[in-house]
Amino acid sequence: QAQLEESGGGLVQAGGSLRLSCAASLRVFRNNAMGWFRRAPGKEREFIAAISWSGESLWYTDSVKGRFTISRDNTKRTGYLQMNNLKPGDPAVYYCATRDGGGWGGLYENWGQGTQVTVSS
Cβ within 8 Å of residue 102, ≥6 positions away: 31, 32, 33, 52, 53, 54
Position 121 scores a pLDDT of 86
Rounded Cα distance between 35 and 24, Å, is: 12
Per-residue pLDDT at 17 exceeds 70? yes
Provide mean pLDDT across the span 43-60.
96
Provide mean pLDDT across the span 61-82.
97
Position 84 scores a pLDDT of 98
What percentage of the chain has pLDDT greater than the value 90?
A: 90
3-class DSSP state for residue 89?
coil
What is the CA 12 to chain-centroid distance, rounded? 17
Rounded Cα distance between 105 and 5, Å, is: 21
Cα-based angle 11, 73, 69 (whole degrees, multiple of 5): 45
Using alpha carbons, select from 114, 120, 121 the residue that is nearest to residue 39.
Answer: 114
Rounded Cα distance between 115 and 21, Å, is: 10
Rounded Cα distance between 34 and 97, Å, is: 6
